[in-house]
Amino acid sequence: MRDNFFNERTMKQLLLGAEAIALGALDGGISGVYAYPGTPSTEITEYIQKNRGAREQNVRSAWSANEKTAYEAALGMSYAGKRSLVCMKHVGLNVAADAFINSAITGVNGGLVVAVADDPSMHSSQNEQDSRVYGKFAMVPVLEPASQQELYDAARYAFDLSESLKLPVLLRLTTRLAHSRAGVEGTAQRTQNLLNAPYAPERFVLMPHNARRQYSKLLEMQDQLEEHSENSWLNSLVPGTGATGVLAFGIAFNYVMEVRQAYGLDCPVLKIGHYPLPRKKIEALFSACDTILVAEEGYPVYEELLRGYFGGKNIRGRLDGTLPRAGELNADSVALALGLAKKEVTPVPSIMVNRPPELCKGCGHRDLYEALNTVMSSHEQHHVFSDIGCYTLGALAPYNAIHTCVDMGASITMAKGAADAGLRPAVAVIGDSTFTHSGMTGLLDAINDRSPLTVIIADNDTTAMTGGQDSSANGSRLLEICRGLGVEEAHLRTIIPLKSHLAENIALLGEEIAWEGVSVVIAQRECIETAARKKRNPAAKA
């Protein structure tokens, strides 16, 4: 199946896994990519934005306000007959879940691929949830390639698969693959689909009578999806001898093969990169081996399924401690799981100290937190509800300024709930991009409910933590949004977070935090990183 597409290879380029998906999607003939930035998925969309060919062919690629708007726009493009890619990090799929699950019920027209980058070990995330669970939940095909080249090939393949099945396809990768480079060969580009939007209300109007029929169709398709998995080039056996076989999912295959190569092992390894599970292939491995090691990067999703509730005595994996229950796998943990002795290595010297990340020297958030800390220190209750972005680093020394960070937009809504409970003052700190992602609706709730809280929007004119992507709104547009939502003019104020403005910023924040109503203070100062980048490269888009 793979060879049909990939007989004519282009020159080898060194690409991040994320970029390999982007190139695969471009060569697969997408008409648009929709995404909200989130580590480790950001580089997929950035690659397409910077790609000359994509611009020449009008592949639409600007950032979306959040993952839900991104997913729905991608579904709309697919509805209109064209191929669309939508990208997000794992927790972004929580935001887009409503659209994702229901798009499996409607099905798609043009190929729709959702590339989701999980972050096991939580390098840049608040959890390590496994997106394969969502794929199973939505009952759609999931592809989980093991190398950068496979990511490219799978991205192309996923569009054909999606179009032939009329279902969205989930392409899952994890941090290591997203942020690791390797040589990737492309193939000739497929032309984009023509506009073709058939009237199909019986599929796309999910009123109960249609939804029931569509859901039955989805259930009936499951055998067909399994058949695809049985024959997929992403599921293959590395033959071997020995009583222990390995079922290696996605990138876990690499660690298994690394150990197999380094120690000269000969265990059979069944590589899984296409779900639902290929039952026959797995049965064959189970019948040939006494013990099976299940190596999954992420949750023990399939280990649990294969064990069943009571059985699975011959299964080893994350659930019995053979592999660590949490965090990324690596060749060392897999070697131990395969019964190899732990290596003697030089320990980290005792003088070592941690070096946590910090706000950049000269960053406006530093000046904001200095002012805010002064104001809050005059209050007995000094809780600050915050959000996800560079300003989350205000949780660390020397500021220790914020007390919550849960999910995108939760600063405002949690402050609202705490205010409703009687907490005074209730203060939220949120960035410009996070505010437009999912802070605006929470602010509307607070206004409608007259919850006394102060929302500080740290507007640095960019989505800074992920590397400086355009925000959906900043500057004067943020003021207009707040006005439109109903913030009173007298309590919609701006400050410039600079050392030279410290005294007046303390005074202004003090007033608004003391006021019993909804107030918004926008701290406006450009991110020093993006400012420096513009200075170095004036031609770069402002």
Token pair recorded at residue 264: 């000269």
67 vs 328 by CB, closer to other proteins: 328
Site for other proteins contains 534 (CB under 8 A)? no
Instruction: Out of 52, 313, 343, 535, name the contact with other proteins by CB under 8 A.
Output: 343
Instruction: Out of 356, 500, 538, 542, name the contact with other proteins by CB under 8 A.
Output: 356
**Beta carbon of residue 13, minimum distance to other proteins (angstroms, whole number):** 9
For other proteins, the binding residues in 151-190 under the rule CB under 8 A are 176-177, 179-183
CA distance 461 to 542: 10
Helix axes 17-27, 148-165, angle to 10 degrees: 40
Instruction: Out of 7, 354, 377, 500, name the contact with other proteins by CB under 8 A.
Output: 354
**Beta carbon of residue 458, minimum distance to other proteins (angstroms, whole number):** 15
Instruction: Out of 56, 201, 313, 351, name the contact with other proteins by CB under 8 A.
Output: 351
Identify the three-state secondary structure at position 481.
Answer: helix
> Given the DSSP bridges, would you call strands 32-35 and 84-89 parallel, antiparallel or unpaired?
parallel
DSSP state of 521: E
CA distance 458 to 434: 10
User: What x-and-dash track marks residues 40-79 binding other proteins by CB under 8 A?
Assistant: x-xx------------------------------------
Tell me the three-class secondary structure of 339-358, residue by residue.
CCCCCCCCCCCCCCCCCCCC
70 vs 390 by CB, closer to other proteins: 390
CA distances 427 to 4, 455, 498, 514, Å, are: 58, 6, 20, 10
CA distances 158 to 70, 122, 139, 172, Å, are: 19, 27, 15, 11
Instruction: Out of 52, 199, 287, 352, name the contact with other proteins by CB under 8 A.
Output: 352
Return the range that interacts with other proteins (CB under 8 A); candidates 304-312, 355-363, 470-478, 481-489.
Answer: 355-363
167 vs 527 by CB, closer to other proteins: 527
142 vs 465 by CB, closer to other proteins: 465
Site for other proteins contains 359 (CB under 8 A)? yes
Return the range that interacts with other proteins (CB under 8 A); candidates 1-9, 375-383, 418-426, 465-473.
Answer: 465-473
Q: Which residues pair with 174 in a beta bridge?
A: 118
Return the range that interacts with other proteins (CB under 8 A); candidates 256-264, 307-315, 407-415, 507-515.
Answer: 256-264
**Beta carbon of residue 366, minimum distance to other proteins (angstroms, whole number):** 12
Return the range that interacts with other proteins (CB under 8 A); candidates 71-79, 339-347, 483-491, 502-510.
Answer: 339-347
Site for other proteins contains 19 (CB under 8 A)? no
**Beta carbon of residue 260, minimum distance to other proteins (angstroms, whole number):** 8
Instruction: Out of 202, 223, 290, 358, name the contact with other proteins by CB under 8 A.
Output: 358
For other proteins, the binding residues in 317-336 under the rule CB under 8 A are 330-332, 335
Q: Is the dihedral of CA 151, 153, 157, 159 positive or negative?
A: positive
Token pair recorded at residue 20: 């390999």
Annotate 201-229 with b (16+ C-beta within 10 A) or e (fewer). eebbebeeebeeebeeebeebeeebbebb
Backbone angles phi, psi at 346, to 5 degrees: -65, 125
**81 close to 194: Cβ distance less than 8 angstroms:** yes
| Nearest residue to 436 via CA among 396, 397, 416, 463 | 463
**Beta carbon of residue 353, minimum distance to other proteins (angstroms, whole number):** 5
A 10 A CB-CB count for 250 gives: 28
For other proteins, the binding residues in 392-411 under the rule CB under 8 A are 393, 397
**Beta carbon of residue 527, minimum distance to other proteins (angstroms, whole number):** 11
CA dihedral 184, 189, 195, 197 (to 10 degrees): -50
Return the range that interacts with other proteins (CB under 8 A); candidates 37-45, 52-60, 71-79, 409-417.
Answer: 37-45
Q: Which residues contact 389 (CB under 8 A, 6 or more apart)?
A: 430, 431, 433, 434, 458, 463, 464, 465
CA distance 333 to 356: 25
**Beta carbon of residue 263, minimum distance to other proteins (angstroms, whole number):** 11
Return the range that interacts with other proteins (CB under 8 A); candidates 19-27, 52-60, 90-98, 337-345.
Answer: 337-345
Return the range that interacts with other proteins (CB under 8 A); candidates 196-204, 252-260, 293-301, 517-525.
Answer: 252-260
181 vs 499 by CB, closer to other proteins: 181
For other proteins, the binding residues in 207-236 under the rule CB under 8 A are none
Site for other proteins contains 270 (CB under 8 A)? no
A 10 A CB-CB count for 449 gives: 12
Site for other proteins contains 313 (CB under 8 A)? no
CA distance 165 to 152: 20
Site for other proteins contains 341 (CB under 8 A)? no
Identify the three-state secondary structure at position 512.
Answer: helix
Instruction: Out of 258, 407, 470, 488, name the contact with other proteins by CB under 8 A.
Output: 258
Backbone angles phi, psi at 236, to 5 degrees: -145, 155
Residues that bind other proteins (CB under 8 A): 12, 14, 39-40, 42-43, 123-124, 176-177, 179-183, 251, 253-255, 257-258, 261-262, 330-332, 335, 343-349, 351-360, 390, 393, 397, 465-467
